[in-house]
């Protein structure tokens, strides 16, 4: 309850500051609309925004699911095989060295303007944090646990699946929490590059037609979706692994 009140208080303060800036600076609505106009547009255009938000939500959820599975398997492969570490870790670092915006047009060209180019963008952004967090946790298994298992003649496979993976699941949860925040970024970037639906597309369309109030309304919905996704992932991780 205290956390909820704190969030509500911060949101109310932010709205007051926003309205004060608009009023004191006498900003025109095509530069920065006031919160009352934005929320009025949000309500009057709720059907349109909901339609595009559903598309973005599907892209984010599919990308998050695929990225979580791929990151989980990649981290286990890296932890289990020194050969894989020598080849895959440089590739992981390289994937983060290339700007995401530079890859978005290529993915759109290869995968088209539909769902999968956006999913690929989301997956590309979240793959590294999920893999890295889980791999680091796998490599930090308490030595006492491993030594006790070896005394009992545990095989490398049993060490991995019975000791190291369960101990590292909170680290996997940390990676998922980051992924929940980053995944919408990938989807929106993909929609900016080429799309006919989604909140990113709607924001570009509204900006091009100088409907800044609609653009801000779509942005607020995107922020709320991201917060809800992060809260849901955080609650799931706490429930499963008490992370």
Residue 1 lies in a domain: no
Overall domain count for the chain: 1
Region 208-221: what's the mean pLDDT?
93
Residue 20 lies in a domain: no
Q: What average pLDDT does the structure give for the chain?
A: 88
Region 128-144: what's the mean pLDDT?
90
Residue 27 lies in a domain: no
Residue 7 lies in a domain: no
CATH number at residue 114: 1.10.3720.10
Residue 26 lies in a domain: no
For residue 81, give Cα distances in angstroms to 50, 88, 114, 130, 155.
46, 10, 37, 18, 15
Residue 211 lies in a domain: yes
Q: For the chain, give the percent of residues with pLDDT over 90.
A: 53
Residue 14 lies in a domain: no
pLDDT tens, 90-109?
888 777 777 777 888 888 88
Q: State both tokens at 149.
A: 């298992």
Q: Which of 30-44, 63-77, 145-159 has the lowest mean pLDDT?
A: 145-159
Domain with 108 in it: 34-241
Residue 15 lies in a domain: no
CB contact set of 160 (below 8 Å; sequence gap of 6+):
76, 79, 80
């Amino acid at each position: 309850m205290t956390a909820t009140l704190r969030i509500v208080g911060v949101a109310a303060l932010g709205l007051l500051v926003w309205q004060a800036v608009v009023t004191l600076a006498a900003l025109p609505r095509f530069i920065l609309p006031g919160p009352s106009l934005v929320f009025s547009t949000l309500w009057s255009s709720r059907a349109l925004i909901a339609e595009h938000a559903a598309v973005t939500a599907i892209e984010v959820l599919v990308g998050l699911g695929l990225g979580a599975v791929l990151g989980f398997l990649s981290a286990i492969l890296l932890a289990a095989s020194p050969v894989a570490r020598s080849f895959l870790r440089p590739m992981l670092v390289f994937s983060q060295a290339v700007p995401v915006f530079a890859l978005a047009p290529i993915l759109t060209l290869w995968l088209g303007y539909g769902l999968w180019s956006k999913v690929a963008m989301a997956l590309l952004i979240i793959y590294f944090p999920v893999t890295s967090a889980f791999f680091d946790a796998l490599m930090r298994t308490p030595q006492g646990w491993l030594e006790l298992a070896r005394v009992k003649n545990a095989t490398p496979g049993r060490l991995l699946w019975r000791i190291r993976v369960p101990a590292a699941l909170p680290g996997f949860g940390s990676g998922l929490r980051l992924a929940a925040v980053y995944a919408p970024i990938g989807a929106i970037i993909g929609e900016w590059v080429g799309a006919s639906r989604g909140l990113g597309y709607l924001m570009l369309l509204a900006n091009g037609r100088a409907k800044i109030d609609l653009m801000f309304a779509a942005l607020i919905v995107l922020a709320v979706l991201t917060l809800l996704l992060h809260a849901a992932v955080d609650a799931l991780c706490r429930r499963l692994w008490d992370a």
